[in-house]
Amino acid sequence: MKIIDDKLMNDLAEEAKKSPRLKKNCLECLETKPTKDIYLAGGCFWGTEHYFKQIKGVAITEVGFANGHTENPTYKEVYTDTTGFAETVFVRFYPDVVSLEFLLQMFFKAIDPTSLNKQGHDEGTRYRTGVYYTDPADLPIIEKVFAEEQKNYEQPLAVEKLPLQNFYTAEDYHQDYLDKNPDGYCHLPLSLFEFARKAKDSTNLIPNDCQSNVR
């Protein structure tokens, strides 16, 4: 689980070094910034979580199981493909730093959106792809990104686009799996993590309400 965006805080610290007149509370302002949530199913959640942890503006990640029909499922139960759950990553982010639209664009770069119930070598309904939202106001943005992505394929997208019905956190050993097991299995190429680390929604590293602290 990623609790704080260390990369963004480090970048802000570097900016502060360059500008002595940057007030000290600028580095603290992110903690009071508003956040938004989105739930993303991109195949095996080990790699998907690690991928989104690299993106600036992502505050928290947590792996779990979404939109199934049983209560408190275990990983072993979900693995049977009888619970209806999809391996999913909960992503909390700072919308003033990274937009939902950008996160969804990054999401599509990490999946095969025309593959039904299969990503990489992982196959089963638990590995289906999907975007699950909790705020209906996010739907127009989601639909916009889906429409843009559909233009790139002749086949219809096989990515679900649904309200979140339920979400259960996976067992602790699944959280931050690739941090704990750097050589562990991952369906995503290492180059994609580097791509995510370098990706930016904006060149402005300092939140807008901190701009007044810089002269």
3-state secondary structure at position 65 = strand
CA atoms of 6 and 27, how far apart (whole Å): 11
Widest pairwise Cα distance in the chain: 59
Q: Which of 50, 57, 53, 61 is nearest to 11 (CA)?
A: 57
Residue 210 designated active-site: no
The active-site residue out of 26, 44, 186, 210 is 44
DSSP assigned state of 133: E
Q: Could you tell me the two tokens for 76?
A: 């072993």
Distances (CA, A) of 37 to 53, 60, 146, 161: 14, 9, 18, 15
Catalytic machinery residues? 44
